[in-house]
Structures are given as structure tokens and as C-alpha cells.
Structure 1
Amino acid sequence: MSALSSDPSAGPASSRPSATGSSSAGPSWATWCAALGFPLLGILVGTLGLFFTGAAFPQLVGDSGVLGRFGLPAARFVFETAAAITAAALVLATFVIPRAAPRRVRHKDRKQSSAAGGFEGDGESDVELDRGWLAAIGVAQASSVVWTLSAAAVLVLTYVDVAGSQAYSGDLSAQLAYFVSSLNVGRYWTFIVVVVAFVSTLVFALRSFAGIATAMVFSFAALVPLALMGHSTGAEGHTTAVNSIGLHLVGIVLWLGGLLVLALIARSLTDRTDLRTIVERYSALALFSFVLVVYSGFVNASLRMGSLADWTTPYGVVMLVKLALTLVLGGIGFRHRRSVIAGLGAPTAGGAGRGATGSAGRGASAPETGPSARGAAPRRLFWRLVGVEALIFGAVMALGVVLSRSQPPVPDEPPPAPTPAEILTSSPLPPRPSWGTYFTQWEWDPVWVVVAVGLSVAYVYAFLKLRRRGDAWPVLRVVAWVLGMVLLFWVTSGGPAVYGKVVFSGHMIQHMLIVMVVPIPMVMGAPITLLMRAIAPRRDGSRGFREWILILVHSRYLRFFAHPIVACVNFAGSLVVFYYSGIMQYALATHLGHELMMLHFLAAGYLFAQSLIGIDPGVNRFPFPVRLLMLLITMAFHAFFGISIMSNTSLIEGDWYGNIGHDWGFSALEDQQTGGEIAWGIGEFPAVLLAIGVAIQWTKSSEREAKRSDRAADRDEDAELRKYNAMLSRLKEHDDSM
């Protein structure tokens, strides 16, 4: 593991300093601490830590020399710092800092922008970009170059560390080629180098909102191999360890990287009247990241510390110091939120007083509204706290590198004599499955725990915000959403997750629940509608979660997959493709494949339920009779799928389920037939619920239509009825005349 993955352009509103002459002192302090203090303290603490844990001393056999013992940790420190700065700068440019002052777009301009493949305010060449936004992109450009070079250096030095003394003999190019093509660690680092270079290219080439957001997504994709390399495959708790490392990565990037970027672009932000708004947005991300870092660090430490005595080892002492410094950083962040941010000025919705600059560096005029003397002291204190935070973070990052180079008390190695279940699943064989064990056996998946708990908290917070504002929101929707999150937590971390890896029937239970049961209460909660009502739209030229989610919901790609016919085909067809094409092997044997399987089937089930009973935007739903027909056809296909598994006489993924090594009184083929029965049986109950939901919505729609007709009749005194009666009279007269 590493520090990231270890245990856990013209000016502002006024480019002149304020009347007090002190506004520049704070930013200068923060910038120097980030640019010089952070790396210097990191080098000092890291070197001391390597000697304290013994990682700096030569190994008796196969020592990789100075390059391996000191060069690799130094390269990792640079790599991880550059990764955090690049990704965080892109996050700030995507979610926090206004890209440009908002402007009205004429209908003609909007049509031209659409014809060019863009959308309003996203790619026009004449838009004057905000100085702070350009400064963040400039930091991302510089750090992405460092990130690319340091990734290549880490690749070579990792080979030196793995090869040991043999790295200095023989044909280096041939040995390095073998390393990057044949060993997993070499492949992972090669992938990282390629993705990081691609991110750097995007940052230099693009200036649109969508382009920078794309670069941000790829910057986080480059971190995935770090999590996968952070724990040995085959060692116990592999899933928990890898996912906790991944969460640690995200938390450190958002928290540390965002802090360093703010410090580096401080001079572009300090005199802005919307500084408080920007800091509040970052502070919310930092608070989430702090919780993420502490939680993931605790989970990871529980895997590496077997007893209290382990905390007295050099590894344990370093971890305790790292934890203490993390808590100090959390305390500084708490002071930011409680004592300092309020003094930065009033929060602004429109970013008044921001300067802007064009893409060619042209200055735009703006009112000179620098900070008042009253606000100078809080601003100076804020930037000094940022500088102190940056210094402490240098030590935390270095200690993370030290931990990645040190041997933990609980070895990160597979057991010496693993059972078949441990070889395949990296976990001991659980007890024989029963109704009780499905609720008593747990293997927490930290990522899905964060998803379930985080979305529950966010939903309840939005609900309470509406209630405080005096707006109504049905309590049953809150209950439905929380119920869906509880089910999601159990399916991904409880008995279905434990037994899904060892018996086919357990896998089918987990699969059917995630695709058919969990999405129903989620759709009933109407989260997108709640989001639109609870969060006000931004009007300062930036985009928050509300804006990005609505862009995704209304994008042509998501609308295609949300189309009722496509959703039905995806829902039913994915089952056949998954179980009969061999893809299931990747979901069983690889960690990333399993997580992607869960995400795909949760999304497929959600879109299918959304097309039938949802009320959120983004779906062109069919009339109610057609919805019931779609449900009937899909469920009939699902029943035939279950029957096909029941009647199958050959094992699906027999190399896995046939060699798991249990002795529970039934064969793998009998268990597979049981799984087919489960696939057939579980589908009946959700189908009934969906049919009832469609019927209820149909009834309510008919009632609303009847009330609308009654109101229209009251307004025009039954004109439509009189017209209809007159038509009948004319028809009768016509018949009588014949």
C-alpha cells in the first residue's frame, strides 16, 4: 500500500491588496507551505520513518539497493502528491469554482452550440473564463506532467524493487519488458502510466465543462490499480482490504489534493467576494473526505492489527502517529467550519465581484470590491490554517509511504496451507447455509456500506431541509428509500454476499435481490425529484451535484438506456448473457468484475422499475396498459430463464462451484438446480409489487383526469357534453329521415 492507499485569468474582483495591506500575507504563507514546506517535511518525516521501521536497512537476500530502499519511496511520494493535486484540481474545476460568469445565450447561439456538439455555456470560444478556474486548470496541467513522469519512474523502480539484486545484471530492457507484460504488478503500473498520460493530454487539450469532467473521471480511474495492488490476492479479507484502500484513495485525493490546490491558487482567490462560497463547497467535500479517511483507515487497520500488542510494534507506532495527525487535521477543518468561514464574507449565489479572463488571457473589467478591513483578519487566519494543514499533510503522506514499505504485524500473505475455498475466495468456508446463517454471516464491503449509509443520510438531510422550509414530502417515500438502502447493505455485505461466492444458489439469491427487489423501494423514493426540490440551482457559472446529475439524467445516452423497451431488454437479456457467455467467471474470480456486476444489475433493475412505476424525470414512460403488458412479457421471459437453469444438466462455472470444497450434503449440480428455482420464485413477488404499483398509478391518473374534466365542465358549463348530445341528435334525425 501507499500513502494514498495505506492503512488507513485576469484578476479577482480586485487584483489590488485590501486597504489593510495584509490580505496577501495569508495567501503567500499558504502557497509557500504547499510548494516548499509540504515536500520538505514529507522527506524528513519519511526518511526518519523508514529508518524507524527498518525499511531503510539493506535486506540480507536480494536487496534492491539504494534505488529500491530510498528511490522508490521518494518516487511514490511525488507520484501520490501529484495524483492528489491533479485529481483534486479537476474536482474543484468541475464542482466548486465557477468556470465563467453566467450569461444569457440567444436562441441562435444556442442552436449553433448544439450543432457543434456542445451545450449552453460549455464550449463557446468567446466565453471569458474565471481567473480562479483557469488557475486550477493550470495547477492540474503542471501536476499532471509531474504525475506522468513520476508514474514512469515508479514503474521502473518497482521493477528494481521486485527483481532485487538481479535488476542490476542481465539485459535490463528485456527484463523490464517481461515485468510489464507478464507480472500483474507490472501490468497495473503500465496501465497507470498510460491513463495518467491520457489525463494529462485531456487537461492540456480541453477547456469545456464536459471535457474537464471527463479528465476528472479518468484521473480517478488511474487510482483503481493502486487499490487492487494494495492487498495480496488470496490473503484473508481481500475484498474488505481492497475496497477500504479505494475509499482511502478517494478521501485523501479530495481532502489533501483540494487543500494543496487552494493553497497554490490562493492569490487568485483571496480578494474574491465569493471566497466564502468556494471555501464552503470545498469544506463540505473535506468533511466527507475526513469521515471517509477515518472509516477506511479503521477498517484497514483492523485487518493488519491482530492484538493490542501489535500497536507497540514500529508499524503500529507509525500508524498511531499517522492517526493522531489525521485527527489534528480534522480539528483544523472543524475550526474552519465553526470559526473562520463565517468571517470570510456573506455567501454568494451568483459569484458577484469575480474577475474573469478570456481564453487568450484578456482581462475583463469588474467592480473593485476587495475584502473590507473587517474581513481581512479572518481571511488571513484562514490562509494560515491552510498552510499549517498543508505542512501536516506532508508528514501524513510520508508516513503512508513508510507504512507501504513496512511489514504489518498481520502478514499480508495467503495462508501457508489454504483450503479450496480460501484459494478461490480468499476467505474461509462459512457454515452450512440456512435461513439463520443468511442473517448472521457478514463480510462487509466498505464501498457499498458507504454508498448505502451515505445515500440514506443525504436523502434524510434533503427531506429535513424541505420540512424546515415548509414544503411537503411524503414520509412513505423516505421509508421506502431507507428500506432500499438497508436491503442494499444486507445484499452486499450480509449472507447473500458471503454465500454468493461459495454456492450457486447463494449467488442467485444475491443476484435476484440486487436486480429485482432492491431497486423497487429506491424508485419509490423518487431521489431525483427530491434532489431538484431540496437543492437550489447554481447561478454563478459553476455546476454542483444537482446540475451534473440533471445533465446525466437528460443526456441522450442515459435516456437511451432508460427507454422502456431498452430497459426491458437490458433487464432480461443481461441475465442470459451473464450466465451463458462466460462473463460470470470474471465476476467470481476478479474483484473489479464482481463490483461491476453488482453495479450493472442494480442499474438495470433500477431503470426497469423506473420505466414502470417511477416518477423521476428522464424516462418517456408508456401508457399504463402497455406497462402492464411489458411487465408480463418480461416476467414470462424471466420464468423461462429460471426453468432453463433448473433443467440444465451441465454446471455453470463448474471450475468454481464444483471445486469449492464444501461437504454440505448436496452436489454442485443439485445446488444449481436450487438456484434456478430461486430465480423463478424470487421473481414472482417483485412482479406482483410492480403490477400493484402500476395499477395504483393508473387509478390515480384516472382520478386526476376525471377531476380535470369536471373542472373544465364547470368552466364551460358542460360545452363538451352539449356538443356530444347535439351530435347524437343529428344522427337520430338522420336515421329517422331514411
Structure 2
Amino acid sequence: MLAAPGAVVVGIVAALLAGAFTEAFAAPGTGLLDPGVAVRLGLPVATLVTELSMAVTVGSLALALFVLPWREPSDGVGFRRALVTAAVGAGVWAVAGLVQLVLEDANIAGMSLTDPAFGQQLGVFMTQVAYGRTLLEIVVLAAVTSTLLLLVRTPTGTAWTALLPVAALSLQAGTGHAAGTSSHELAISSLFLHLLGASVWIGGLATLGVVFWAGRGSDGGATVRRAGTARAGGARPDLAAVVGRYSQMALWCLGFVAVSGLVNGWIRAGSIDGLATRYGVLLLAKLVLLVVLGLIGYAHRTLVIGRLGRDDARPRGLFWRLAAVELAVMGAVMGVAVALASSAPPVSEVVGKDLTPSERVTGHVLPPALTPTRWFTEWNWDLILTVACAAGVVVYVGWALRLRRRGDAWSWGRTASWCVGMVALWWTTSGGPALYGHVLFSAHMAQHMVLAMVVPIFLVLGAPVTLALRGLPARKDGSRGPREWLLILVHSRWGQFVANPVVSAVLFASSLIVFYYTPLFSWSLHSYVGHLWMVVHFTGAGYLFANALIGIDPGPRRLGYPQRLILLFATMAFHAFFGVALISSETLLVPDWFGLLGRTWGSSAIEDQQTGGSVAWGVGEIPTLLLAVLVATSWARSDEREARRKDRKAERDGDAELRDYNAMLEKLAERDTPPR
């Protein structure tokens, strides 16, 4: 299949032409050091190869984890071929990334590769410059990924290994344009979504070609044969099924790429006028190419995929021709993206000298004084969490409608509860709590309480795991879809352990101390990754605790209702103790953050921290009361169900249980009655 190398060639040509248009690779002006034409033209080529190999790695892993069969009834040839493709892609990624690192240093320093001092300069760049260290970390992660993928043989091992390239993507997102501006969190989150969506989309399509085209038989690619054999019976992934699953992933990726691209482009362009610049023209060209890709995907879904299962070679031929064109356009898109990354955007990325204390510490202008209204009118958008909440609502409602279409009932109350939880999560992470939680400890504690104690209640009442297991289709071809992965997670030893009521309660309570009295709190303030970890951890810990008390989702054996209430009040007592400790404390947490913001409104930093202790103690009482009411209500309903069950049983057997009990009492009375 020549489409993959053809896409690389198209990408290189597109990168060089787009770079020539913006003069990104031209010789620097008078007085500036020139690293030489080899560095200036070699850097975009190395960058393009790095990003394409990164896409192949991530896309191959996505196909192996969610699309391709790995066990009976298939013998897993496609799965193994995808892992080999990912390993080769990661190896190329590591080598190309190392070349990119060297050329980046030469370009930044304005030094030729043959300069005698360049070796020392490169060592300084890799060890003492943050950008150089990040590029080196990405190279190391790619190399380790390549090595591990040659050793793993199961989807579970593949899933753990896939965390490494995802971590590399997060590092890559922090090196792009606008990552150092006042919109750096939004820029990083949008670029990460862009890289992830594009990688799964491009790399997945390229891997389809490797899995099917390289092993095609006379059926035009419907059969994957074992290397060195003529066997076709066992090694036959269904092309129609595989392409259909990939098409679903590609549709989501199109949405991720489109939304994140628009957000990131707007950050760099700054305004409509910015689109009139050469940089803006390239942005529009990239948008047009993205629309073309969407149209090709639409053609796949409407003209080809539904006909692939038929005994007809023409749909398969049309699919591969469209795939070749799609890969070529994808190469052009990535080439334009490389040129954009090397071009100066209309919005200056040079950090000004006259920064306020808040801008020096947080990277943001200090927001206006907090008022009750501004909790709901001020925003600090987090694109990753916004997309996650929107996707959560769309997927959940889709599952519920699927059940109703096939005649199964699903409570609208549970659907409403889930949607309320998602909206609350979105507001907490993108609204007033997110903005003011960065500058006020009390606001941060309010954000924490909502994440850990309010949002989980609504999510648990939505019973998402139960709905997913009923609404998701089961795979029967040896592959693992979302339903299979969910079952594995729920029934795994780790899943059973953390969902245990006592363990979840300990995790829920101890996280307060561990988080706020260790460097984790500072990490969550200084790092966007740390902030995401905080949101996921506290929401997840709250979900596990609430599910142990009031949930119906599958999990370990729940405690009796009296024990649940005891566990609830014991945990909340720990929360109260934590709040009292903060109220009485005279030591400021993370003083290099909250103590250096230069706020001219509100109380002092230590007084605000003590207010945060009151929030932890007082605000937590409301969710606690709600949980107690829900546990008591569930207890009463359980007793009612048990009474109705006994009444039905009594009607069937004539109340045999009561007769046996009365007979037992009569025997006891006769035994205890003395003879006359």
C-alpha cells in the first residue's frame, strides 16, 4: 500500500510550501544568527516525520485496544500486526524526535551543526532548558513504548503501555504556540485534544491498511493471512465490522479535532483581523482541508461501509481508494500544521516585562472581587473537561434512548440526575469556582467540596455502569469494545479493592490530608496536568464512596444500612476535623502561590484559608445530610420490598412460615409446661 509513504511525501511538500508562504523557514534578518539552510529545511521535515510516526503509534494502539480481535474465534493476526506497527511507529518516533531535538536546538541557538561549540550547547539544551528537557522526555517515552510493545501480548498489557504515548502527547501539548500566554491552560488542553484526535484518526486509518492490505488475499483485503501460510479460515477479521468500529472512532476524532482546532486557532489569531494575515490564511487552508476530510468520512459511511460485508470486491476497492485520498489529505493537513507551528502568529507570544504579581504567579490577570453573581458570570474554560462533560451527556442519553427504542425501560429521573451531575462538574471546572479557586483558598475549597461531595451524588444516582452494560452491544468476535473493558475494570482485583466500602471511605477521607499537606496541592496549582489529576481523583473518590452508600451499579458486596450510616458519619467527622484544623491554623498553605498574588480585595491570605476551613466543615454538612436521607430512604424501600416479598410468599403457601413459627412456639410451650 503506497498511500502511507505517499501521505508523508504530500505532508513534506505541504509543509515546505506553507512555510515558504509565511517565510517561516527563510533565512533570518540582518544581525540574527543563521543555523544554515540544512537546519531550517530539515527541522520541518523532522517535525512532520515525528508527528506522523506519533500518529501511527497512537492510532495502532487504539485499533488494537478497541477494534481488532485478539482471541478466538479470530487467531489475532490483525491485533499482533497492529502492535508491531505501533512498535515500529514508536521507534521511528524516537529517532525522528531525537533528530528534531538536535535541529530545534541548532535553530534556536542559531548555530550550525558543524560548529565546534554545538555539542556543549546541545548538552545544556537537553539538561537545563525546559523545552529541551521536554523534547528529550518525549524521545525517551517513545523509545520505551517501542520496546514494551515488542513484549506485550494481551490487550491489558497494551492498555498499560498506551499510557506512555498519551503522556508524551501531554508533554507535546505543552510545547506548542500559545502555551505560554495568558490562555495557556486553554491552549494546552485544546492542543492535547487536537493531537489525540488527529493521531487516532490518521494513525488508525494507516494501520487499517497495514492490517488488511498487507495480508490481502484474492478477496481484495477481506482476509488477513498468517505470514508464511495459506491459512484463511481462522485469520479473518471482518473488514466491515472493523471499518465500522473505526468509523465511529473517526467521527469522534473529527469532532475533537474541529473543536480544539477552532479554539487553538482563535487563541493564536486573536481576532477576525488575524485571519487576514498569512498565518490566518494557513489556518483557513487547514480548516478547508478538515472539511474535505469530513466529506470523505461521510462518503465512507454512506457509500461504502454498509456494503463491505457483501460478497463484492467493488465496495472494498472503493474503500481503499477513498482511504488513499484521505491519507493524502491528512498528510497535507499535518504539513500545514507543522508550518503553522513554525510561523509567528498574529497574537504575540512574547511575555511582557510589566507583569502584575498575579500574572507572574498564575499566568492570569487577577479577576475582579468575588461576588455571589460572579460565581455564575465569570469563566475560565477548561476544554478537556468541557468536552468530557458534553460527551458524557451525549453518550448517556444515547444509551438511554437505545434502551427505549428496543422496548426496555430506563428512568428519566436517573437520566436527569446524570445530566445535572455533568452540568455541575462542567460549571465547577470552567465557571466561577475554577477561576476564583486559582486565587482564593476558600473558593478552591468550595470547588473541592462540590467535586468530591455534590457531583458524585448525582452521577451515582444516574447508575451509568448499569446503563452502559444494558445499552452497549457485546462483542462476539474476540475484540474488546467499551462494554468488555468496563466489565474487566469492574471485576478486576483493583476495581473490587478500591470500590470496597471501607477502602473507598478511607480513600475519600485520607485524600484531604494527603493532598493539602503534601506537594500535591502545589503541583495542582502550578501544573495543568496536576489540576486535571485533582479533578479526576476527588470526583472519582467521591463517586466510589457515594456508590458504596446509595449506588446500584455493580461492585463489591455493600454493607448493611446501619453500617452505611455509621461509615458516613465517621467519614464526615473526619471532614469536620480537617475543617477545624484549617480554621485554627496560622500557617499558610502554598505561601509562594496564595501569599504572592497581590490581591487588593477580599481578606488576607491566611484569613481566606481559615474561611476555607469553615467551608470544608460547614458546606460539607449539606451533602452529608442528603446522603443520610438517601441511605435512610433506600433502607425503608428495602424493608418495604422485603415485606412485599414475604406477603407474596405467604399468599402462595398459605403463610407456611407463620404456621411453622406458631407450631414452634406451641412445642416450646408444651415442653415448658409441667405435667399435672
TM range, normalised to the smaller chain? over 0.9
- Pair 1:696 & 2:647 matched: no
Determine the C-alpha separation between the residues in 1 that align with 2:565 and 2:258: 48
User: Structure 1 CA distance, aligned partners of 2:177 and 2:279?
Assistant: 16
Contact 1:514 1:602 in 2 (8 A): yes
Q: Secondary structure at the match of 2:365?
A: coil
State which of 210, 214, 222 in structure 2 corresponds to 1:271: 222
Distance (Å, rounded) in 2 between the aligned partners of 1:690 and 1:700:
15
Counterpart of 1:330 in structure 2 is 294
Q: CA deviation at 1:650?
A: 1.8
Q: Distance in 1 between matches of 2:162 and 2:514?
A: 31
Deviates most, 681-690 or 414-423: 414-423
* Separation of aligned partners in 1, 2:205 and 2:654: 67
Query: Aligned residues, how many?
Result: 655
| 1:340 to partner: Cα distance | 1.7
**2:36 alignment partner in structure 1:** 65
Larger displacement relative to structure 2 (416-425 or 453-462): 416-425
Given the alignment, which residue of 206, 210, 219 partners 1:260? 206
8 Å CA contact retained: 1:234, 1:425: no
Could you list the per-position Cα deviations for residues 201-247 of structure 1 after superposition, in whole angstroms to 9, with x for gaps in the alignment? 12111221212222223222221100111246652111100000000
* Structure 2 gaps, min length 5: 224-236
The answer on 1:34 being equivalent to 2:1 is no
Query: Does the CA-based 8 Å contact 1:231-1:238 persist in structure 2?
Result: no
Residue aligning to 1:281 = 245
Helix, strand or coil at the partner of 1:583: helix
In the alignment, structure 1 residue 84 sits paired with structure 2 residue 48: no
What amino acid maps onto 1:437 in structure 2? R
Whole-angstrom CA distance in 2 between matches of 1:667 and 1:219: 43
Aligned counterparts, 1:204-603, within 5 A: 204-231=150-177, 234-267=180-213, 268=215, 270-272=221-223, 274-345=238-309, 372=311, 375-603=312-540
Q: 1:582 & 1:382 partners in 2: Cα distance?
A: 53
Confirm or deny: 8 A CA contact 2:59 2:199 kept in the other structure.
yes
- Tell me if structure 1 keeps the 8 A contact 2:33–2:111: yes
Please, which moves more after superposition, 289-298 or 651-660?
Answer: 651-660
Q: Which of residues 562, 566, 573 in structure 2 aligns to 1:625? A: 562
SS of 1:536 mapped into structure 2: coil
Compared with structure 1, are the counterparts of its residues 537 and 667 closer, same or farther at alpha carbon in structure 2 (3 Å cutoff)? same
Counterpart of 2:671 in structure 1: which amino acid? H
Residues of 2 paired with 1:549 and 1:723: CA distance?
46
In the alignment, the residues of structure 1 paired with residue 178 and residue 187 of structure 2 have an alpha-carbon distance, to the nearest angstrom, of 9
Displacement of 1:68: 3.2
Give the secondary structure class of the aligned counterpart of 1:656: helix
Aligned to 1:615: 552
**Cα distance per residue 1:413-456 (max 9 Å; x no partner):** 32331111111121111110010001000111000001100010
Higher-RCO chain (CA-CA 8 Å, sequence separation at least 6): 1
- Report the secondary structure of 1:222's partner residue: helix
Residues 111 and 118, structure 2, Cα contact 8 Å, conserved in 1: no
How far, CA to CA, are the matches of 2:508 and 2:116 in structure 1?
A: 55
SS at match of 1:129: coil
Give the counterpart of 2:46 among 62, 75, 80.
Answer: 75
Cα drift, residue 583 of structure 1:
2.2
1:119-130, aligned counterparts within 5 Å?
129-130=75-76
SS of 1:435's partner is coil
CA distance in 1, matches of 2:180, 2:440: 19
Give SS of 2:110's match: helix
Q: Structure 2 CA distance, aligned partners of 1:618 and 1:323?
A: 46
SS in 2 for 1:557: helix
Question: Are the aligned partners of 1:232 and 1:414 in contact in 2 as well (CA < 8 Å)?
Answer: no
Cα distance in 2 for residues equivalent to 1:257 and 1:155: 23
The CA distance in 2 between the partners of 1:86 and 1:164, in whole Å, is 32
Q: Name the SS for the 2:405 alignment partner.
A: helix
Post-superposition offset of 1:179: 1.9
Secondary structure in 2 matching 1:407: coil
Any gaps of 5 or more consecutive residues in structure 1?
A: 1-30, 103-127, 346-370
Q: CA deviation at 1:307?
A: 2.6
State the TM-score, normalizing by the size of structure 1.
Answer: 0.86
Mapped to 2, the partners of 1:190 and 1:478 lie a distance apart of: 46
String of CA shifts for 1:673-720, please: whole Å, max 9, x gaps. 211111112201111111111112111211222222223333433332
After TM superposition, give the deviation of residue 164 of structure 1 in Å.
2.0
Cα contact 2:81–2:211 (8 A) shared by 1: yes
SS of 2:281's partner is helix
- Identity between Structure 1 and Structure 2 (%): 46
8 A contact 1:202–1:211 mirrored in 2? no
Aligned-residue RMSD, C-alpha: 1.7
Q: 1:135 aligns with which of 81, 103, 111?
A: 81
2:232 corresponds to? none
Q: Secondary structure at the match of 1:64?
A: coil
